[in-house]
């Protein structure tokens, strides 16, 4: 089989020696492009550097020195994009943007782009952006957040970052981006079809259509093929050229002068009008999708050769010759000099140390802490803020009201907090939890979004990039699955792939879990949060009552502000309005609101402990804690004394605390409203069992009560698949009173 790497590498020299270089169909002069001869040489050098990096990475792969070879060959025209933009225009880049990153690095004296990128290819621990965790394009100094092999998942946060620029300035928040900065986001033509891309571009246009600033430049690098699937001719233009709220431009990405001119004009449009623009950039894809991709399996040789004749380096060489800037020998010499330089640097990079231990690898899962002061609001201002509630403040309240008040205090304390979500404005959300917040803090800080969870979370991630502290709301737990990759693939991975240089601090509020009356069915009664427990570094909080909710929400905001953590705050819908515990009017599930100055902290991992009974220890959370407290009373009346533990924090679990609190108990009951398979109860069984084994002590009798492996149906049928108080009482009696056969069968 022909070695396309070698053919592509030698093709430029052959073309220069034979004089068979292509002419661009677009005729743009240096003057028309606004470029000097020196700049054109510089851009060509960048293209050559990027090309030899791609070729070298494939050699390194064959030698076992490189592990990820999706390259930029054919897309090197994006060097002109970088040259036409400012270094402080944050760039969320396509994975074929090697030339962009090299060109931008030239704007920062002392940069070593070849060495840095080869360290990344070699997965060296000295890679300055990811520390050897992945081959990514990124740099904190160059305003390029790192991306992994994404399929358009970076577009929502690009739109969010663009939206945040005017917002941060309006709020007076210390931001990462200047007031006149823009955001650039590049992606491929195949990725443009992804729902994430469509949603993000729609959200940007929807926002701009309402005359809200949205300075984002979308650059679609159209090479006409997504791995093996061709993009229909004319599809990108037909899809994006006539959208409301979105300007459209086209340029020939094989022509440096046309690309530089088009991007300069596009950037000026976006910067001055603060409106989004879609730049459709023609490119080609050379050398297959990646080093492991054999194009011959799905493309004919004639098609491959036709693409190689469109090599952007050949077009650039023609520009240099036609403008009398360099002759053929000078171009060949530059090309060969860069090849030798890249090969030499690659040898050094390949010899540098790699990550060796699990401790080294996971060191950046949790981001670094920041030193911040915790501000308290002046009492007179607090009195004015809560004037509409002055008759209720001293009275015990239910969960929903207490969360509302906690949010009000937090937003007053921290000007950088911005909330966003569906219907959270004047409507106050489905359950009135965000009532009055829009009235008190204004629409800039309480954003009613369009109905798209990907865009909501992308908005939050982008705002976090620019110094704001987002509290996005997902209306129902089941809705998060429409956008869970924004949490897992974007927000959670960012510190990991940037050695903690980039973070996504935020508190995602989600109404969820089951037992809800009136609003039935799976989408409003989702009892599975397993997706969150599978995300490294994510914190999952779940209060069971209003008093805990206030303290835990304050701790969640502290964790986000000071420790830059990604937090999910899961609010049990069925407990929002619950006031009573055992009987109507007992008011035992209503709690007094403590202002920030009197806050009783609930630290990350801190367990809630009720009772000191030695007969049985019940481990639970959320609705399960509420039901277990009801069951505890009935059991006590039957002579069984229990201790009930409220986990509160479901990820990470406080393993040491759980082991300590269950020590000495030979009977443990786990009440888990999540499903039998994949629930937190499985982890709890493991924790208790392994702790006893490690201490050389007998493993206690453990019984699990869980929901069925089922979705939640409508109406009263929902309770048939969920744990209830009677089941808890029965299981406790079975455990404590020694019906061993029943215990064995239940286990």
CATH number 3.40.50.920 is the correct assignment for the domain at 609-746: yes
On the question of pLDDT at 595 being above 50, the answer is yes
Which residues are CB-neighbours of 273 under 8 A, at least 6 positions away?
none
Tokens of 683: 């982890």
H-only helix segments in 285-369? 301-308, 312-322, 328-350, 358-362
Look at the block and give the residue holding tokens 């406790």.
732
Please choose, from the candidates 113, 594, 141, 550, the residue with its C-alpha nearest in 3D space to the C-alpha of residue 349.
113
Q: Residue 2 — very low, low, confident or very high, per pLDDT cuts 50/70/90?
A: low
Contact criterion met (CB below 8 Å) for 17 and 328:
yes
DSSP 296: G
Mean pLDDT throughout 587-611? Answer: 96
Q: Residue 385 — very low, low, confident or very high, per pLDDT cuts 50/70/90?
A: very high
Mean pLDDT throughout 417-426? Answer: 96
Q: What is the mean pLDDT of the chain?
A: 94
Range with the poorest average pLDDT among 61-65, 192-196, 585-589: 61-65
CA 316 to chain centre: 37
Specify the pTM.
Answer: 0.95
Which residues are CB-neighbours of 75 under 8 A, at least 6 positions away?
94, 96, 97, 99, 221, 223, 253, 283, 285, 312
Which CATH number is 380-598 given?
3.40.50.970
CA distance 602 to 630: 23
On the question of pLDDT at 739 being above 60, the answer is no
The 3-class secondary structure across 228-268, one letter per residue, is CEECCCCHHHHHHCCCCCCEEEEEECCCHHHHHHHHHHHHH
| First-to-last C-alpha distance (Å) of the chain | 60
Mean pLDDT throughout 555-565? Answer: 97
Mean pLDDT throughout 578-599? Answer: 96
The predicted pLDDT at position 4 comes to 87
CATH fold of 34-352, please? Rossmann fold (3.40.50)
Mean pLDDT throughout 586-615? Answer: 96
CA distance 691 to 687: 6
Mean pLDDT throughout 370-384? Answer: 86
**% of the chain surpassing 70 pLDDT:** 98
**What is the DSSP annotation of 459-512?**
HHHHHHHTT-EEEEEESSGGGGGGSHHIIIIIIIHHHHHTTTSS---EEEEEEE
Tokens of 631: 């069951």
Strand bridging mode 608-610 / 539-541: unpaired
Query: Rounded to the nearest 5°, which phi and psi values hold at 375?
Result: -90, 140
Mean pLDDT throughout 442-450? Answer: 95
Mean pLDDT throughout 548-575? Answer: 97
Mean pLDDT throughout 437-444? Answer: 95
Mean pLDDT throughout 423-432? Answer: 94
The predicted pLDDT at position 1 comes to 45
Tokens of 544: 């069971």
Q: Read off the pLDDT of residues 289-303 as tens digits, 9 standing for 90 and up.
A: 877 777 878 888 888
Q: Read off the pLDDT of residues 407-416 as tens digits, 9 standing for 90 and up.
A: 999 999 999 9
Query: Rounded to the nearest 5°, which phi and psi values hold at 602?
Result: -120, 100
The predicted pLDDT at position 290 comes to 78
The predicted pLDDT at position 150 comes to 65
CA distance 700 to 537: 31
Which residues are CB-neighbours of 720 under 8 A, at least 6 positions away?
713
The predicted pLDDT at position 464 comes to 97
**% of the chain surpassing 90 pLDDT:** 85
CA distance 545 to 400: 9
DSSP 592: P
Break the chain into its structural domains and give their ranges.
Answer: 34-352, 380-598, 609-746
CA distances in angstroms from 385 to 123, 389, 429, 477, listed in the order given: 53, 9, 20, 31
Q: Residue 747 — very low, low, confident or very high, per pLDDT cuts 50/70/90?
A: very low
Q: Read off the pLDDT of residues 62-76 as tens digits, 9 standing for 90 and up.
A: 898 888 778 899 999
Mean pLDDT throughout 89-118? Answer: 95
Q: Read off the pLDDT of residues 201-243 as tens digits, 9 standing for 90 and up.
A: 999 999 999 999 999 999 999 999 988 888 999 999 999 999 9
Mean pLDDT throughout 471-495? Answer: 94
Tokens of 481: 């699955």
């Amino acid at each position: 089989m022909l070695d396309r790497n070698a053919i592509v590498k030698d093709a430029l020299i052959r073309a220069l020696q034979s004089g068979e270089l292509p002419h661009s169909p677009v005729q743009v002069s240096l003057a028309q492009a606004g470029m000097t001869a020196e700049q054109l040489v510089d851009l060509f050098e960048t293209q050559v550097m990027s090309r030899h990096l791609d070729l070298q990475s494939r050699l390194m792969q064959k030698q076992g020195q490189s592990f990820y070879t999706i390259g930029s060959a054919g897309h090197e025209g994006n060097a002109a994009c970088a040259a036409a933009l400012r270094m402080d225009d944050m760039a969320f880049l396509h994975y074929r943007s090697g030339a962009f990153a090299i060109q931008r690095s030239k704007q920062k004296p002392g940069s070593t782009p070849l060495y840095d990128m080869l360290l990344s290819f070699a997965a060296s621990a000295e890679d300055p952006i990811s520390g050897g965790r992945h081959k990514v394009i990124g740099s904190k100094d160059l305003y390029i957040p790192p991306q992994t092999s994404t399929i358009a998942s970076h577009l929502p946060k690009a739109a969010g970052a663009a939206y945040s620029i005017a917002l941060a300035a309006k709020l007076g928040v210390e931001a990462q981006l200047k007031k006149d900065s823009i955001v650039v986001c590049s992606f491929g033509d195949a990725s443009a079809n992804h729902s994430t891309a469509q949603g993000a571009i729609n959200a940007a246009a929807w926002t701009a259509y309402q005359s809200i600033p949205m300075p984002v430049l979308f650059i679609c690098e159209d090479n006409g093929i997504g791995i093996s699937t061709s993009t229909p001719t004319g599809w990108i233009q037909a899809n994006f050229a006539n959208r409301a709220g979105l300007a459209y431009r086209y340029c020939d990405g094989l022509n440096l002068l046309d690309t530089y001119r088009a991007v300069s004009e596009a950037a000026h449009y976006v910067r001055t009008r603060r409106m989004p623009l879609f730049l459709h950039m023609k490119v080609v894809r050379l050398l297959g999708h990646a080093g492991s991709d054999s194009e011959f399996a799905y493309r004919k040789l004639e098609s491959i050769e036709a693409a190689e004749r469109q090599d952007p380096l050949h077009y650039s060489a023609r520009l240099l010759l036609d403008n009398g800037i360099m002759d053929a020998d000078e171009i060949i010499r530059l090309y060969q000099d860069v090849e030798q330089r890249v090969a030499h640097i690659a040898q050094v990079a390949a010899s540098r140390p790699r990550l060796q231990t699990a401790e080294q690898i996971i060191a950046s899962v949790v981001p670094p802490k920041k030193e911040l002061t915790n501000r308290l609001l002046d009492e007179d201002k607090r009195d004015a803020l809560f004037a509409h509630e002055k008759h209720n403040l001293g009275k015990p309240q239910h969960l929903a009201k207490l969360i509302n008040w906690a949010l009000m205090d937090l937003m007053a304390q921290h000007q950088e907090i911005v909330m966003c979500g569906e219907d959270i404005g004047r409507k106050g959300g489905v359950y009135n939890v965000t009532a009055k917040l829009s009235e008190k803090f204004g629409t800039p800080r309480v954003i009613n979004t369009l109905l798209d969870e990907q865009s909501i979370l992308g908005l939050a991630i982008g705002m976090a990039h620019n110094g704001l502290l987002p509290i996005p709301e997902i209306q129902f737990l089941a809705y998060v699955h429409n956008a869970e990759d924004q949490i897992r693939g974007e927000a959670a991975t960012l510190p990991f792939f940037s050695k903690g240089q980039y973070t996504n601090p935020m508190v995602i509020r989600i109404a969820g879990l089951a037992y809800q009356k009136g609003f039935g069915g799976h989408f409003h009664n989702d009892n599975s949060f397993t997706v969150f427990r599978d995300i490294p570094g994510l914190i999952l909080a779940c209060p069971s009552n209003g008093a805990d909710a206030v303290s835990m929400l304050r701790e969640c905001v502290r964790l986000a502000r000071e420790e830059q953590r990604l937090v999910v705050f899961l609010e049990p819908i069925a407990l929002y309005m619950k006031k009573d515990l055992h009987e109507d009017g007992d008011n035992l599930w209503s709690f007094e609101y403590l202002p920030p100055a009197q806050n009783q902290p609930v630290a990350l991992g801190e367990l809630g402990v009720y009772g000191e009974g030695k007969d049985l220890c019940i481990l639970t959370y959320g609705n399960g804690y509420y039901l277990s407290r009801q069951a505890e009373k009935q059991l006590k009346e039957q002579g069984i004394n229990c201790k009930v533990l409220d986990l509160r924090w479901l990820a990470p679990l406080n393993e040491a605390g759980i082991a300590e609190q269950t020590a000495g108990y030979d009977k443990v009951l786990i009440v888990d409203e999540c499903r039998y398979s994949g629930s937190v109860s499985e982890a709890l069984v493991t924790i208790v069992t392994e702790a006893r084994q490690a201490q050389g002590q007998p493993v206690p009798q453990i019984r699990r009560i869980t929901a069925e492996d089922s979705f939640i149906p409508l109406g009263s049928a929902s309770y048939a698949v969920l744990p209830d108080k009677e089941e808890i009482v029965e299981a406790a009696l079975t455990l404590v009173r020694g019906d061993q056969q029943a215990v064995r069968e239940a286990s």
